[in-house]
Structure 1
Amino acid sequence: MTQLSHPRRTRILPASILATEEARHRQEQRDALAMRCRAIFERLRPTLLETHYNWHIAIDPETEHYLIDQTLLGITQKIRDAYGNTNEVKLTIFRLNDTGTCGRL
């Protein structure tokens, strides 16, 4: 049997070097955002679950505004339409089901 050799892969961009403290700080910010969004999601879920089961929901914790769509592609397009192509958008996407997860964990 012949073994296939794979060409060595090289990075296009240099590896990101984040200080441990900065990485920890960013993770804490993501966790805080997720907790705020989860609280809003848990409040909205009972009213939306029956009519929009397994749809995606994106929640803005600052305004409690949310967007829903049947597909992940659809929800991301709605986010772009509503917020533009800015990196400053801080939303969390959930799935309107029993757990809120969007995929396999």
Structure 2
Amino acid sequence: MFPEKIIPPAELARRRTKRNQLNQRCRVIFERIRPELIEQYYNWFIAIEPNSEDYLIDPKLDGVIAKGQERYLSNDVKLAIFRLNETGACGRI
């Protein structure tokens, strides 16, 4: 529809790779802290910042997103969101 807005395949691949790398770094942190939190916060959402290893938790997805926006005012900070359950998955497959 808008040819000037089409993202080249190489750029899409670069973004996908960056997203996967972020997810892998955050997954390691998630697996380490999940046992401490899962009993008290089962099925809550957790957003993890991989550089500082800080995390935010909230029972609702909107809540954890709002907390992230409040704490990290910059768009440069990237977080990965998981669910505090057995798999870390946030939705249905």
How far, CA to CA, are the matches of 1:39 and 1:69 in structure 2?
20
- Higher gyration radius (CA): 1
Structure 2 SS opposite 1:36: helix
The CA RMSD over aligned residues, in Å, is 1.3
Q: TM-score, normalised by structure 2?
A: 0.92
- Residue correspondences, number: 92
Deviating 4+ runs (over 2 angstroms): none
Aligned with residue 20 of structure 1, among 3, 6, 9 = 9
Alignment deviations for residues 51-92 of structure 1 (CA, whole Å, 9 cap, x no partner): 1100000000010000001111111111111012x3222100
Partner letter of residue 64 of structure 1? E
In structure 1, how many angstroms separate the alpha carbons of the residues matched to 2:79 and 2:51? 9
Query: Which residue identity lines up with residue 61 of structure 2 in the other structure?
Result: L
CA distance in 2, matches of 1:73, 1:23: 27
1:70 matched to which residue of 2? 59
1:2-24 deviations in Å (ceiling 9; x for gaps):
xxxxxxxxx7xx36311211111
* Residue 35 (structure 1) aligns with: 24
- CA deviations 1:5-47 (Å, max 9, x no partner) are xxxxxx7xx3631121111111100000000000100001001
Gaps of 5+ in 1: 1-10
CA–CA distance in structure 1, aligned partners of residues 92 and 68 of structure 2:
23
Residue 58 of structure 1: which of 30, 44, 47 is its match?
47
